[in-house]
A and B are shown apart, each in its own frame.
Chain A
Amino acid sequence: MRTVDRRWRLQFTPSDSVIIHLRSGLLRAVLFALMWWVLTDGAVDSWQVGAPVVLSATLASVVLLPPSSCSLTGVVRFVPFFLWRSLCGGVDVARRALHPRLPISPGLFHHRWRLPPGLPRVFMANTVSLLPGTLSAGVDKEYLHIHVLDQTGNFASELPLIEARVAELFGLNLVTDELGGG
C-alpha cells in the first residue's frame, strides 16, 4: 500500500510515465548487466545464464521499486560531495575517539522533512548516518530524528545542504516551509 501526500504528488501525463518506466528500466538493466559482468569477471559464456538473470532482476526491480526520476547532473554533483564529506565524517569521529578528553556533547535534533516520502527519505536518512557528527535515529511523517555527536557543531546548517543534494540527485524540488505548514 502506498499513501501519497497530496503536497508531493507530481503531475504526470500517461506518456511521461511510460517514458520514465522505460528509461529507468533500461538504466537498471545496464546496471545489473554491469554487476553480472563484474561478478563473473567478464566470462563470455556466462551470459547464457546472465542474460535471463539480468532481465528478471530488472523486471523484479521495476515491480518492487517503482521507478523514480534520477538526474545525471545530480549524481555527478552528489558523488564527490558524499565521498569528501564522509571522509570528513570518518576523520572527525576518529579524532574524537582517540582524543584523551573525548570531546563529545551528544544531543537529539529534529529535522523537518522537505523531501517527499519514499526512496528519497530513505536515501537521506542513510546519507546522514555516514556524514560528520550525525546519525539518523528515527523517521516519522514529519521529522527525521538525528542523533548528533557534538551539539556545538554546524550540523544545523549542513542538513539543508545534504537535503538539497539528495533532492538534486532524484531530480526533485524541495517543498518549502510555507507549503509544508503546520
Chain B
Amino acid sequence: MIPSDYLSAALLIAGAVFFLAGTVGLLRFPDVYTRLHALTKADNVGLGLLVAGLALQAESWAVVGKLLLIWLLVLLAGASVAHLVAVAARHRGIKLWKR
C-alpha cells in the first residue's frame, strides 16, 4: 500500500463511523426533529469523507468531479427533505420533545 491508500482507508473508516453515529442517533433521539438532526448532519459528513477517500483513488478528474457532484446533490436533497419533513411535522402539531 502506498501512503494515499492509507489516507483513503482512514477517510473511508471515518466516514463509516459518522454513518454509524447518524444511525445510532436515529434510533436513540426522542422525536422526529432531533432524529432529522442526526440524519442530515452526520450523513452529510459521512458521505463527504467517503467521497474524499474515494476521490484519492480516482483514475481521472472526471471521476473526482462525479463524486463531488454526488455529494453536492445529496447535500441538497438531504437538507431540503429534512426541512420538508420538519415543516410537515409542525403542521401536524407534533410537539417538540423537551428535556
A residues near B, CB below 8 A?
Answer: 34-35, 37-42, 83, 86-87, 89-94, 96-98, 102, 104-108, 125-127, 129-133, 135-138, 145, 147, 149
Contact = CB atoms under 8 A, between A and B. Distances in A.
Contact of B83 (A93, A132, A137): A137
A126 B34 contact: no
Interface residues of B, number: 42
B42 A135 contact: no
Contact of A93 (B41, B63, B66, B79): B41
B50 to A, nearest CB: 12
B69 A130 contact: no
Contact of B98 (A38, A96, A105, A137): A105
A120 to B, nearest CB: 15
B10 interface: no
A176 B75 CA distance: 30
Contacts of B90: 137-138, 145
Contacts of B82: 129, 135
Contact of B40 (A39, A87, A135): A135
B11 to A, nearest CB: 12
A94 B40 contact: no
